Amino acid sequence: MMSHAVLAHLRETLAERFGKNKTEELCRLIYEIARREENEPLNILTLALEGSALEQIRFTTLKQTLLKRRFPNLAPEDLKRTYLAPLHLPSESEQIPSMRELFKPTAIFIEKRAKHYPLAGRVMNAWPEVEMVEIEAIDELRRPKKDWMKDFGKRTLAISVEPFDLVKPCPCSTSTVSCNYYLLNIGYGCPYDCTYCYLQAYQNLPAIVLPANLEEFLAHMDQKLELKPGQFTRIGTGEYADSLALDWLTEYSKILVPHFKDKAVTLELKTKSDCIENLLNLDHGGRTVIAWSVNPERFCNEEKKTAAVQERLRAAKRCEEAGYGTAFHFDPLILAEGCEKDYERLVEMLFDHVNESIRWISLGALRFHKDLRRAAEYRHPESQIFLGEGRLDPLDEKMRYTADSRIRLYREMVRQIQRYRQNTPIYLCMESPEVWRSVFEGKPYQGKIDQWIACGSS
């Protein structure tokens, strides 16, 4: 990690000349350029001054020079949309807990009304040495976020009885193409620690919350879904939690998979784990698809504590052998020098492990709300992921790579995937109709993603 003393000196020097707010923008640019180029921040400043003395250079000149160096491929209109948030890094004396330590819970809370559910017994047996503290309601755990930013509640478990509102349509932006997806919330919080995880900006409780009453909820769910006749519907569990990371403990899959085996719905369990043992002997009726998010090995530090991509693909092969459909999400696609080769190799690895069971593949370039960056940078200062050329996308004000660079990457991914299987349903996640049209050259499944995906499910 970059020396704080160096950054503090730089900030002081610039603040004397430009004042606080302008200095924050310059520091952000210099910090990111130094990390991208593996150079010293003071060298970056010296180079940007181009022989002038700091006292003589104007702020706008210095900022423009730095912007061009930081975002060499952005057009002038995109340069205006870069987001130069103040740097918020942990001090050198603050230790981020090692990832190995992160999951064994150090505290367990249980709502009194959840005590008699089987999940309570399983959690107690798993960690008899950790006291299970009874509470009236999960809300009692709320604390100011700054107090739990470092470990993010990843060592606290909470067992709750959830109200029956665990299912809802996927909240796609209005300006992006929707894929008729429903979300089933089977928990909140995740033992894994991806640097880009949106929960870091969104989560408001310092705990991994597990509902104890999933069976009761499912009994109410079917009326709520309001399925339209003849419409292909998917329901997925991976919005606020990884679907299978804790399945060895929760055994949710043993409830979910048999429940959906004769429903007119396809259940998707999305994971970055290889935790599939519970699945292998379940009666799934062909209605459950096990899905993996995948990224090349070079980005494994961005997905801490998750199963290695090889392990995920081996797990996929075992699920294929057990008769499950499989799906893959290349999401987030991360742009970095030479990444096309890494993704090409990943597609090859995928098809080395599975083929016929693949029901759909999605592609989604890195995107994130601008508030995520502050939390992620504080928790994962070593991450490379925010050093790409992202800018605020007018589409929905999320940070994204430019449309041109996303389209190039998507086209290449589609080409690679179709080398192995021409008719695989491929869709884009959270993209505009214009990007869809450019990637798929206006093919007929535009706007009808559910039918397109259903082709792979027949």
**Nearest CA among 175, 205, 176 for reference residue 189:** 205
If the CB atoms of residues 257 and 376 are measured against ligand SF4, the closer one turns out to be 376
Query: How far is the C-alpha of 375 from the C-alpha of 133, rounded, in Å?
Result: 29
**Site residues for ligand SF4, window 220-259 (CB under 6 A)?**
241-242
If the CB atoms of residues 36 and 272 are measured against ligand SF4, the closer one turns out to be 272
Out of 10, 194, 246, 429, which residue is the one contacting ligand SF4 (CB under 6 A)? 194
Out of 10, 87, 197, 257, which residue is the one contacting ligand SF4 (CB under 6 A)? 197
Close Cβ partners of 101 (under 8 Å, ≥ 6 residues apart) = 155
Smallest distance from the beta carbon of 261 to ligand SF4, in angstroms? Answer: 26
Query: How far is the C-alpha of 16 from the C-alpha of 240, rounded, in Å?
Result: 45
If the CB atoms of residues 190 and 275 are measured against ligand SF4, the closer one turns out to be 190
Q: Does 193 bind ligand SF4 (CB under 6 A)?
A: yes
- Is residue 134 within 8 Å of 157, Cβ to Cβ? no
Smallest distance from the beta carbon of 195 to ligand SF4, in angstroms? Answer: 9
Smallest distance from the beta carbon of 190 to ligand SF4, in angstroms? Answer: 3
Both structure tokens of 94: 């603050």
Both structure tokens of 416: 């690679």
If the CB atoms of residues 332 and 456 are measured against ligand SF4, the closer one turns out to be 332
Beta pairing partners, 362: 329, 427
Close Cβ partners of 148 (under 8 Å, ≥ 6 residues apart) = 206
Both structure tokens of 408: 């190039």
Query: How far is the C-alpha of 183 from the C-alpha of 175, rounded, in Å?
Result: 19
Out of 148, 192, 299, 410, which residue is the one contacting ligand SF4 (CB under 6 A)? 192
**Nearest CA among 450, 408, 395 for reference residue 425:** 450
CB atoms within 10 A of CB 257: 21
Relative to beta strand 181-184, strand 167-169 is antiparallel
* Dihedral angle, C-alpha 410, 412, 415, 421, nearest 10 °: -70
Distances (CA, A) of 340 to 73, 334, 431: 17, 10, 20
Smallest distance from the beta carbon of 272 to ligand SF4, in angstroms? Answer: 5
**Site residues for ligand SF4, window 117-176 (CB under 6 A)?**
none
If the CB atoms of residues 71 and 192 are measured against ligand SF4, the closer one turns out to be 192
If the CB atoms of residues 35 and 272 are measured against ligand SF4, the closer one turns out to be 272
If the CB atoms of residues 71 and 299 are measured against ligand SF4, the closer one turns out to be 299
If the CB atoms of residues 197 and 210 are measured against ligand SF4, the closer one turns out to be 197
Q: In this chain, which stretch among 41-49, 65-73, 137-145, 186-194 interacts with ligand SF4, using CB under 6 A? A: 186-194
Q: In this chain, which stretch among 34-42, 187-195, 257-265, 313-321 interacts with ligand SF4, using CB under 6 A? A: 187-195
Residues in contact with ligand SF4, shown as a per-residue x/- string from 258 to 277 under the rule CB under 6 A: --------------x-----
If the CB atoms of residues 232 and 330 are measured against ligand SF4, the closer one turns out to be 330
If the CB atoms of residues 197 and 333 are measured against ligand SF4, the closer one turns out to be 197
Smallest distance from the beta carbon of 432 to ligand SF4, in angstroms? Answer: 23
User: Scanning the structure block, which residue is given the tokens 């970059």?
Assistant: 2
- The H or E element spanning position 422 is none
Q: In this chain, which stretch among 79-87, 175-183, 189-197, 213-221 interacts with ligand SF4, using CB under 6 A? A: 189-197
Give the three-state DSSP class for 55.
coil
If the CB atoms of residues 34 and 207 are measured against ligand SF4, the closer one turns out to be 207
Which DSSP category does 412 fall into? H
**Site residues for ligand SF4, window 312-371 (CB under 6 A)?**
none
Q: Under the phi-then-psi rule, with left for phi > 0, alpha for psi from -120 to 50, and beta for the rest, what region is 150?
A: alpha
Smallest distance from the beta carbon of 156 to ligand SF4, in angstroms? Answer: 15
Query: How far is the C-alpha of 418 from the C-alpha of 424, rounded, in Å?
Result: 7
Smallest distance from the beta carbon of 140 to ligand SF4, in angstroms? Answer: 24
**Nearest CA among 433, 299, 316 for reference residue 366:** 299
If the CB atoms of residues 197 and 354 are measured against ligand SF4, the closer one turns out to be 197
Out of 14, 199, 294, 366, which residue is the one contacting ligand SF4 (CB under 6 A)? 199
Query: How far is the C-alpha of 288 from the C-alpha of 325, rounded, in Å?
Result: 7
- The H or E element spanning position 339 is helix 339-353
Phi, psi of 241 (to 5 degrees): -160, 160
Size of the site for ligand SF4 (CB under 6 A): 9
Out of 45, 190, 210, 212, which residue is the one contacting ligand SF4 (CB under 6 A)? 190
Smallest distance from the beta carbon of 54 to ligand SF4, in angstroms? Answer: 42
Q: Does 34 bind ligand SF4 (CB under 6 A)?
A: no
Query: How far is the C-alpha of 111 from the C-alpha of 141, rounded, in Å?
Result: 11
Q: In this chain, which stretch among 55-63, 190-198, 386-394, 433-441 interacts with ligand SF4, using CB under 6 A? A: 190-198
Query: How far is the C-alpha of 433 from the C-alpha of 172, rounded, in Å?
Result: 13
Q: Which positions lie near ligand SF4, rule CB under 6 A? A: 190, 192-194, 197, 199, 241-242, 272
